[in-house]
């Protein structure tokens, strides 16, 4: 473990911000209010909808009624409705809630950013924008004004509505409307977040000044509220969008393992990467007795006061808080009824845990396992379990080693599980929740799954492309540990590419106020893709991690796992047998090597 030089202050950390091509945000905060007599005249902030000056959405029967891009192109109102994105609806994406314009097709429904002052109220960790660019990727710098008179700047980038990356889109639609008719070409909308000063109440937001071309269009804007009173106890990343079932009038019962416990519970369901809504008829939570059997009667969950919910394509849903004593370090059963036919779903593919699917009917409230007649080894739709209270969470961003591949099934021997147990058994540092955001086959700088469409590939989008969803939007995240890179070098990426990606992760996470810890890449000689050339790149990445100053701390997992007699190879006692993945003993060794003090934020 190597500690990096401490930064002079959290303010200096926030001012060091860069972004990716898809999501770019810069925030600098000036603390001194500008004297009223010296300030230039500024227009009174207005609600965003009063500034709308562009028509982006048309009815398929009248495609010429809108002109989003200056060439007659527009989104299909019917496509948006089919995706569950209806006018006036509140859509939750990446922990933010955005209200869609309450307009009819052909009416003004967005504003081209040109320095307009928008009335925005609230305190949070980020601003969330529903955006798209026309004419290419559009960027600009805007201003956040706080109620105490201070202000800060942010940089917002909107990917192009027709050619932007599918990996980071909120929703992709199948058609492009033109005055001459409808074309089978994908169009996209994006939710982009930018950090703001935590704790300060926002008074208004000035949109970026339009540089001329391309245009940056804003459809909705809100403050992402912090998850006060909650700690993330369990999580799983959406790794892909695959064929399932089909499940029609079936209940899915997923087995998940808590890290920390608490007196209340809520769950998070994500319809990531989807093209259509999914209906949840009912949902429950219970402590597992054994298999699909519950200990006591499962407790019913609700969603905004209703028994079930519909989750639009690309969106998410949190259940309402439920008084329920969640034990630490324990298996839960999270069950939800799917009343309509589901043939595809977002999944976490490597659960390393058996879960269950019922025969016909709503069996979410069944304590008995009798109705659950089949097993699955994935986690569809469910991405989080939060508990009331607690000190916050540590997020582990990783690949198959973090995911637990080659650990014993149903035994919770992943290294994040062992780390969580260590935290629970001590009193020197806070007993953080541990959130496992590992995806088997994941890479730092390249997408395995392209981010759209049904695919058998469940290697996920890149760490850079999933950083907002899988780290920044995670409940009460305080620290992120980054343990990735082996799949990049195994598949031909250079050390320079990997280190550039790691540096970007660090800079973007520091901009969000997170503590950032990196782990060195483990050796894998003997695995078919772990060539001498790949090992050279691996060692160069590790040299950068050990010697650089981009991270708050470095965990040397390479030193823990390698064979002293052959540092390119994993120690035999830790090797699962494939020379790439540690077995249970190796996973325990890296978890035991972590100095718990490095997880504590400044």
Query: What does the alpha-carbon distance between residue 99 and residue 92 come to, in Å, rounded to a whole number?
Result: 9
Q: What confidence tens digit (pLDDT) does each residue in 428-484 have?
A: 999 999 999 999 999 999 999 999 999 999 999 999 999 999 999 999 999 999 999
Measured CA distances, 311 to 223, 339, 474 (Å)? 21, 13, 18
Q: What pLDDT is stored for residue 40 in this prediction? A: 58
Instruction: Mean pLDDT check: name the lowest of 5-14, 127-136, 320-329, 508-517.
Output: 5-14
Strands (E), 526-590: 553-555, 562-563, 566-570
- What would you measure as the largest C-alpha separation in the chain, in angstroms? 74
Q: What confidence tens digit (pLDDT) does each residue in 33-65 have?
A: 333 444 556 779 999 999 999 999 999 999 999
Q: What confidence tens digit (pLDDT) does each residue in 370-398 have?
A: 999 999 999 999 999 999 999 999 999 99
Report whether pLDDT(7) > 90.
no
Once rounded to an integer, what is the mean pLDDT over residues 254-260?
98
Query: What does the alpha-carbon distance between residue 508 and residue 503 come to, in Å, rounded to a whole number?
Result: 9
Instruction: Mean pLDDT check: name the lowest of 9-23, 106-120, 342-356, 528-542.
Output: 9-23
Q: What confidence tens digit (pLDDT) does each residue in 358-369 have?
A: 999 999 999 999
Fold category of 391-602 in CATH: Rossmann fold (3.40.50)
- Residue 548 banded pLDDT, cuts 50, 70, 90: confident
First to last CA, the chain: 17
Q: Strand, helix or coil at 297?
A: strand
- Residue 226 banded pLDDT, cuts 50, 70, 90: confident
**Residue 541, token pair as written in the block:** 């990445």
Q: What confidence tens digit (pLDDT) does each residue in 316-364 have?
A: 999 999 999 999 999 999 999 999 999 999 999 999 999 999 999 999 9
Query: What does the alpha-carbon distance between residue 488 and residue 380 come to, in Å, rounded to a whole number?
Result: 26
pTM over 0.85, yes/no: yes
Query: What does the alpha-carbon distance between residue 344 and residue 22 come to, in Å, rounded to a whole number?
Result: 26
Report whether pLDDT(27) > 80.
no
Is 12 exposed, middle or buried, given 0-12, 13-18 or 19+ CB atoms closer than 10 A?
Answer: exposed
Q: What pLDDT is stored for residue 206 in this prediction? A: 98
Q: What pLDDT is stored for residue 199 in this prediction? A: 87
pLDDT: which is higher, 19 or 373:
373
Once rounded to an integer, what is the mean pLDDT over residues 301-319?
98
Query: What does the alpha-carbon distance between residue 391 and residue 238 come to, in Å, rounded to a whole number?
Result: 25
Report whether pLDDT(402) > 60.
yes
**What does the mean pLDDT of the chain come to?**
93
Half-sphere exposure of 278 (CA within 13 A, CB side): 28
Question: What are φ and ψ of residue 123, in 5° steps?
Answer: -120, 140
Query: What does the alpha-carbon distance between residue 235 and residue 9 come to, in Å, rounded to a whole number?
Result: 31
Query: What does the alpha-carbon distance between residue 156 and residue 209 come to, in Å, rounded to a whole number?
Result: 11
- Residue 214 banded pLDDT, cuts 50, 70, 90: confident
Strands (E), 351-451: 355-358, 372-376, 379-380, 382-388, 393-398, 433-438
């Amino acid at each position: 473990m190597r500690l990096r030089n401490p930064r002079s202050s959290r303010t200096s950390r926030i001012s060091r911000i860069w972004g990716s091509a898809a999501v770019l945000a810069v925030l600098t905060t000036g603390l001194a209010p500008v004297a009223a007599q010296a300030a230039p005249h500024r227009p009174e902030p207005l609600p965003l909808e009063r500034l709308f000056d562009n028509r982006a959405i048309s009815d398929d029967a009248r495609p010429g009624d809108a002109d989003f891009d200056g060439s007659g192109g527009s989104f299909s109102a019917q496509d948006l409705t089919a995706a569950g994105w209806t006018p006036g609806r509140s859509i939750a994406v990446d922990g933010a809630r955005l209200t869609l314009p309450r307009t009819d097709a052909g009416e003004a429904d967005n504003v081209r950013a040109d320095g307009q002052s928008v009335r925005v109220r609230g305190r949070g960790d980020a601003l969330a924008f529903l955006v798209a660019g026309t004419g290419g990727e559009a960027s600009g710098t805007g201003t956040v004004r706080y109620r105490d008179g201070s202000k800060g700047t942010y940089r917002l980038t909107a990917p192009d509505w027709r050619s932007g990356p599918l990996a980071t889109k909120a929703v992709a639609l199948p058609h492009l409307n033109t005055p001459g008719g409808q074309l089978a070409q994908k169009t996209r909308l994006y939710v982009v977040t930018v950090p703001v000063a935590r704790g300060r109440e926002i008074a208004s937001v000035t949109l970026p000044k339009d540089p001329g071309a391309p245009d940056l269009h804003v459809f909705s804007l809100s403050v992402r509220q912090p998850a006060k009173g909650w700690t993330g106890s369990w999580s799983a990343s959406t790794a892909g969008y695959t064929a399932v079932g089909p499940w029609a009038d079936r209940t899915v019962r997923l087995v998940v393992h808590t890290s920390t416990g608490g007196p209340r519970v809520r769950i998070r369901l994500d319809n990531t990467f989807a093209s259509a809504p999914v209906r949840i008829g009912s949902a429950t939570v219970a402590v597992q007795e054994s298999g699909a059997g519950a200990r006591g009667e499962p407790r019913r969950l609700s969603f905004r006061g209703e028994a079930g919910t519909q989750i639009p394509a690309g969106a998410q849903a949190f259940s309402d808080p439920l008084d329920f004593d969640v034990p630490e370090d324990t298996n839960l059963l999270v069950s939800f009824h799917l009343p309509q036919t589901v043939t595809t779903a977002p999944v976490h593919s490597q659960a390393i845990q058996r879960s269950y699917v019922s025969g016909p009917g709503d069996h979410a409230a069944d304590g008995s396992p009798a109705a659950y007649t089949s097993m699955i080894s994935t986690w569809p739709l469910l991405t989080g379990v939060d508990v009331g209270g607690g000190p916050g969470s540590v997020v582990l961003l990783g690949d198959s080693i973090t995911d637990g591949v080659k650990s014993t099934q149903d035994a919770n021997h992943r290294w994040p599980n062992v780390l969580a147990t260590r935290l629970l058994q001590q009193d020197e540092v806070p007993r953080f929740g541990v959130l496992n955001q590992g995806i088997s086959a994941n890479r730092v700088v390249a997408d395995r799954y392209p981010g759209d469409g049904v695919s058998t590939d469940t290697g996920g989008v890149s760490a850079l492309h999933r950083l907002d969803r899988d780290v920044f939007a995670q409940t009460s995240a305080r620290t992120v540990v980054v343990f990735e890179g082996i799949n990049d070098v195994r598949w031909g990426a250079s050390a320079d590419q990997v280190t550039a990606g790691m540096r970007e992760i660090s800079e973007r996470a520091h901009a969000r106020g997170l503590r950032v810890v990196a782990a060195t890449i483990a050796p894998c000689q003997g695995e078919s893709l772990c060539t001498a050339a790949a090992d050279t790149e691996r060692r160069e990445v590790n040299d950068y991690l050990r010697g650089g100053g981009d991270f708050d701390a470095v965990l040397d997992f390479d030193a823990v796992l390698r064979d002293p007699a052959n540092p390119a190879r994993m120690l035999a006692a830790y090797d699962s047998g494939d020379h790439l993945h540690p077995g249970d003993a190796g996973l325990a060794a890296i978890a035991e090597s972590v100095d718990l003090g490095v997880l504590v934020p400044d």
